[in-house]
Protein backbone atom coordinates (compact mmCIF):
# COMPACT_ATOMS: atom_id res chain seq x y z
CA UNK A 1 0.00 0.00 0.00
CA UNK A 2 2.94 2.27 -0.51
CA UNK A 3 4.21 4.06 -3.52
CA UNK A 4 6.75 1.88 -5.25
CA UNK A 5 10.48 2.32 -4.82
CA UNK A 6 10.64 3.31 -8.45
CA UNK A 7 8.24 6.20 -7.86
CA UNK A 8 10.19 7.17 -4.79
CA UNK A 9 13.38 7.24 -6.83
CA UNK A 10 11.68 9.25 -9.56
CA UNK A 11 10.69 11.88 -7.02
CA UNK A 12 14.25 12.04 -5.74
CA UNK A 13 15.60 12.40 -9.24
CA UNK A 14 13.28 15.24 -10.11
CA UNK A 15 14.09 16.86 -6.78
CA UNK A 16 17.76 16.47 -7.52
CA UNK A 17 17.40 18.12 -10.92
CA UNK A 18 15.31 20.89 -9.42
CA UNK A 19 18.01 21.63 -6.86
CA UNK A 20 20.79 21.46 -9.40
CA UNK A 21 19.21 23.92 -11.81
CA UNK A 22 21.45 22.69 -14.56
CA UNK A 23 21.94 19.80 -16.90
CA UNK A 24 23.24 16.65 -15.22
CA UNK A 25 24.27 13.39 -16.79
CA UNK A 26 22.86 10.08 -15.64
CA UNK A 27 26.00 9.19 -13.74
CA UNK A 28 25.91 12.34 -11.65
CA UNK A 29 22.20 11.92 -10.98
CA UNK A 30 22.73 8.34 -9.99
CA UNK A 31 25.50 9.24 -7.57
CA UNK A 32 23.59 12.13 -6.11
CA UNK A 33 20.43 10.14 -5.53
CA UNK A 34 21.99 6.76 -4.68
CA UNK A 35 19.96 5.05 -7.35
CA UNK A 36 21.94 2.59 -9.42
CA UNK A 37 22.98 3.98 -12.77
CA UNK A 38 21.06 1.42 -14.76
CA UNK A 39 17.87 1.85 -12.84
CA UNK A 40 18.08 5.61 -12.91
CA UNK A 41 18.46 5.45 -16.67
CA UNK A 42 15.27 3.46 -16.85
CA UNK A 43 13.40 5.91 -14.65
CA UNK A 44 14.81 8.88 -16.54
CA UNK A 45 13.46 7.44 -19.74
CA UNK A 46 9.98 7.34 -18.25
CA UNK A 47 10.34 10.89 -17.02
CA UNK A 48 11.46 11.97 -20.48
CA UNK A 49 8.55 10.31 -22.24
CA UNK A 50 6.27 11.77 -19.62
CA UNK A 51 7.50 15.23 -20.57
CA UNK A 52 8.87 16.07 -17.14
CA UNK A 53 12.51 15.88 -18.06
CA UNK A 54 14.36 16.72 -21.26
CA UNK A 55 17.30 14.68 -22.42
CA UNK A 56 20.28 15.68 -24.52
CA UNK A 57 22.55 13.29 -26.30
CA UNK A 58 26.22 13.59 -27.02
CA UNK A 59 29.25 14.75 -25.14
CA UNK A 60 27.63 17.60 -23.25
CA UNK A 61 24.40 15.68 -22.93
CA UNK A 62 22.43 14.82 -19.86
CA UNK A 63 19.06 15.65 -18.36
CA UNK A 64 17.27 18.74 -17.17
CA UNK A 65 13.75 19.58 -16.09
CA UNK A 66 11.43 20.25 -18.99
CA UNK A 67 9.70 23.01 -17.06
CA UNK A 68 10.01 25.01 -13.87
CA UNK A 69 9.71 23.12 -10.56
CA UNK A 70 6.62 25.18 -9.84
CA UNK A 71 4.94 23.52 -12.77
CA UNK A 72 5.86 19.96 -11.81
CA UNK A 73 3.61 18.31 -9.27
CA UNK A 74 4.16 15.24 -7.17
CA UNK A 75 1.29 13.71 -9.09
CA UNK A 76 2.98 14.35 -12.43
CA UNK A 77 6.01 12.38 -11.34
CA UNK A 78 4.25 9.52 -9.61
CA UNK A 79 1.64 9.14 -12.32
CA UNK A 80 4.32 9.09 -14.98
CA UNK A 81 6.17 6.31 -13.27
CA UNK A 82 3.42 4.11 -11.92
CA UNK A 83 0.25 5.22 -13.64
CA UNK A 84 -2.77 6.99 -12.22
CA UNK A 85 -3.33 6.60 -8.51
CA UNK A 86 -6.35 4.54 -7.54
CA UNK A 87 -7.20 2.67 -4.40
CA UNK A 88 -9.66 0.35 -6.02
CA UNK A 89 -8.39 -2.47 -8.15
CA UNK A 90 -11.10 -2.12 -10.72
CA UNK A 91 -10.46 0.88 -12.89
CA UNK A 92 -12.57 2.11 -15.74
CA UNK A 93 -16.03 3.54 -15.73
CA UNK A 94 -18.61 0.82 -15.87
CA UNK A 95 -17.16 -1.57 -13.39
CA UNK A 96 -19.61 -3.96 -11.87
CA UNK A 97 -18.56 -6.20 -9.04
CA UNK A 98 -19.83 -9.51 -10.37
CA UNK A 99 -18.10 -11.18 -7.51
CA UNK A 100 -19.51 -9.11 -4.70
CA UNK A 101 -22.04 -10.77 -2.53
CA UNK A 102 -24.56 -8.44 -4.09
CA UNK A 103 -23.92 -10.26 -7.37
CA UNK A 104 -23.92 -8.19 -10.53
CA UNK A 105 -24.75 -4.98 -8.73
CA UNK A 106 -22.36 -2.03 -8.80
CA UNK A 107 -19.78 -2.49 -6.07
CA UNK A 108 -20.94 -0.49 -3.07
CA UNK A 109 -17.37 0.40 -2.17
CA UNK A 110 -16.40 1.70 -5.53
CA UNK A 111 -17.67 5.19 -4.82
CA UNK A 112 -15.76 5.68 -1.62
CA UNK A 113 -12.58 4.31 -3.15
CA UNK A 114 -12.90 6.67 -6.06
CA UNK A 115 -13.68 9.61 -3.83
CA UNK A 116 -10.65 9.02 -1.69
CA UNK A 117 -8.41 8.36 -4.67
CA UNK A 118 -9.60 11.62 -6.19
CA UNK A 119 -8.66 13.50 -3.08
CA UNK A 120 -5.22 11.96 -3.00
CA UNK A 121 -4.63 12.93 -6.60
CA UNK A 122 -5.85 16.45 -5.95
CA UNK A 123 -3.44 16.81 -3.04
CA UNK A 124 -0.55 15.44 -5.02
CA UNK A 125 -1.33 17.81 -7.87
CA UNK A 126 -1.31 20.74 -5.49
CA UNK A 127 2.12 19.80 -4.24
CA UNK A 128 4.69 21.18 -6.64
CA UNK A 129 8.45 20.88 -6.50
CA UNK A 130 9.06 24.55 -5.82
CA UNK A 131 7.62 23.87 -2.36
CA UNK A 132 10.62 21.79 -1.32
CA UNK A 133 13.27 24.08 -2.74
CA UNK A 134 15.28 26.70 -0.86
CA UNK A 135 13.60 30.09 -1.28
CA UNK A 136 15.97 31.56 -3.86
CA UNK A 137 15.85 28.56 -6.16
CA UNK A 138 12.11 28.37 -5.92
CA UNK A 139 11.83 31.95 -7.08
CA UNK A 140 13.85 31.38 -10.22
CA UNK A 141 12.19 30.41 -13.46
CA UNK A 142 13.46 28.17 -16.19
CA UNK A 143 13.29 29.73 -19.68
Partner DNA sequence: AATATGTTGACAAATTTAGTAGAGTTTCTT
Partner DNA sequence: AAGAAACTCTACTAAATTTGTCAACATATT
Which chain residues interact with a second copy by CB under 8 A? Answer: 1-5, 8, 11-12, 15-16, 19, 32-34, 74, 82-83, 85-89, 99-102, 108-109, 112-113, 115-116, 119-120, 123-124, 127, 132
**Beta carbon of residue 53, minimum distance to a second copy (angstroms, whole number):** 15
The count of residues interacting with DNA (CB under 7 A) is 30
Of residues 5 and 105, the one with the C-beta less far from DNA: 5
Chain-centre distance for alpha carbon 20: 18
- Measured from the CB atom, is 39 or 126 closer to DNA? 39
The 8-class DSSP code of residue 84 comes to S
Count of CB atoms situated within 10 Å of the CB of 52: 25
Q: Binding to DNA by residue 57, rule CB under 7 A?
A: yes
Q: Which is nearer to DNA, 42 or 110 (CB)?
A: 42
Contact 142, 24 (CB under 8 A): no
CA distance 24 to 100: 51
With binding defined as CB under 7 A, does residue 63 bind DNA?
yes
Range in contact with DNA (rule: CB under 7 A) among 2-10, 93-101, 103-111, 119-127: 2-10
Contact between 126 and 73 (Cβ < 8 Å): yes
β-strand 62-65 against 53-56: which pairing, if any?
Answer: antiparallel
Query: If binding is defined by CB under 7 A, does position 98 make contact with DNA?
Result: no
Phi, psi for residue 64 in degrees, rounded to 5 = -145, 165
Q: Decide: is 109 part of the binding site for DNA (CB under 7 A).
A: no
Helix (H, G, I), strand (E, B) or coil at 5: helix
66 near DNA (CB under 7 A): no
Amino acid sequence: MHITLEADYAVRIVYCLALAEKRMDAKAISEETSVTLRFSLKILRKLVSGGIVRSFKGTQGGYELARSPKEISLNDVIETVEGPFSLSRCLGGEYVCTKSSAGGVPCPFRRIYDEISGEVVQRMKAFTFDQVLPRESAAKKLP
